[in-house]
Amino acid sequence: MRRRTFLSLLAGSSPLIWTPGVFADVLTLTPKMTEGPFYPDRLPLDQDNDLLLVSDSTTPAIGEITHLTGRVLDAGGQPIRNAFVEIWQCDQNGAYLHSGTGNLAERDPHFQGYGRFLTDSNGNYRFRTIKPVPYPGRTPHIHFGVSRHGQRVLTTQLFIKGHPQNERDGILRSIKDPKAKENVLGDFRPVPGSMLGELAVNFDLILGRTPGDPDDEDGHHGIGKSDRASGKGMGPPSGRPRPAPPERP
């Protein structure tokens, strides 16, 4: 091939070869954060996705009822099925489901404190919980862990968009990328027509490449070890949790 012909062909294909960002991730990944010291040191018997009721109790937890939903997606926007999503947070009094929490005696016994959900074929997850509250040294937040194929692939936190304590929270401030920071700020909005003052918030979790990609067809899944060296408190999955009650109109 003559040099001039080769160069003209190369020029014609240059947008595919040379354009920066052609193969870059389409979505901004959810930033990874510390697990913190209060992942449950003993998982509760009730591990479903309704944190407001414990086992067969009919007494609900204290707090603003919040319907937390979202999807687990890869960087290209494709849903990730069979991912275990865990959440844990303090109760209305600022106490965690952990023996080392600062005010264990004040812990709400009706708040489950921890839940898990297995994503469906569209990557959806759902929880019913309470709006997070602050405790000494931290702005309100909900902890998240995502596991695939028996390995923890993301540990992060969800914050309340516009909360006045956000600017003083060291963990949130450590996120320097504005887009990544925006990804972990949730808009807790009133549920229209709710007589109980319920709230709803959506939080999509965007993952990079994870163990076992592309997703296997066997549906293998499991709760993975935590980021902490001890892996303390981890246990085998208990199966697909029962769905949370439907949102009120």
Per the domain annotation, does 93 fall within a domain? yes
CA angle at residue 184 from 195 to 189, to 5 degrees? 15
pLDDT score, position 97: 96
Per the domain annotation, does 13 fall within a domain? no
Distances (CA, A) of 100 to 39, 159, 193: 10, 23, 40
Per the domain annotation, does 45 fall within a domain? yes
Categorize the per-residue pLDDT at 82 as very low, low, confident or very high, splitting at 50, 70 and 90: very high
pLDDT tens column, 115-167: 999 999 999 999 999 999 999 999 999 999 999 999 999 999 999 999 999 99
pLDDT tens column, 162-184: 999 999 999 999 999 999 999 99
Average model confidence (pLDDT) across the chain: 83
- Specify the pTM: 0.80
CATH number at residue 194: 2.60.130.10
Domain count, the chain: 1
Q: What is the DSSP letter of 140?
A: S
Average pLDDT over residues 95-120: 95
pLDDT score, position 212: 65
CA angle at residue 87 from 85 to 92, to 5 degrees? 160
Q: 181 lies in which domain range?
A: 25-207
Please check the confidence at residue 224 and state whether its pLDDT lies above 60: yes
Per the domain annotation, does 76 fall within a domain? yes
Please check the confidence at residue 230 and state whether its pLDDT lies above 80: no
Per the domain annotation, does 161 fall within a domain? yes
Radius of gyration of the chain (CA): 21
Strands 114-118, 65-74: pairing kind: unpaired
Closest CA to 112 of 193, 50, 21, 32: 50
Per the domain annotation, does 195 fall within a domain? yes
Average pLDDT over residues 59-88: 97
Q: H-helix or E-strand containing 207?
A: strand 205-207
Least confident among 21-30, 126-135, 168-177, 209-218 = 209-218
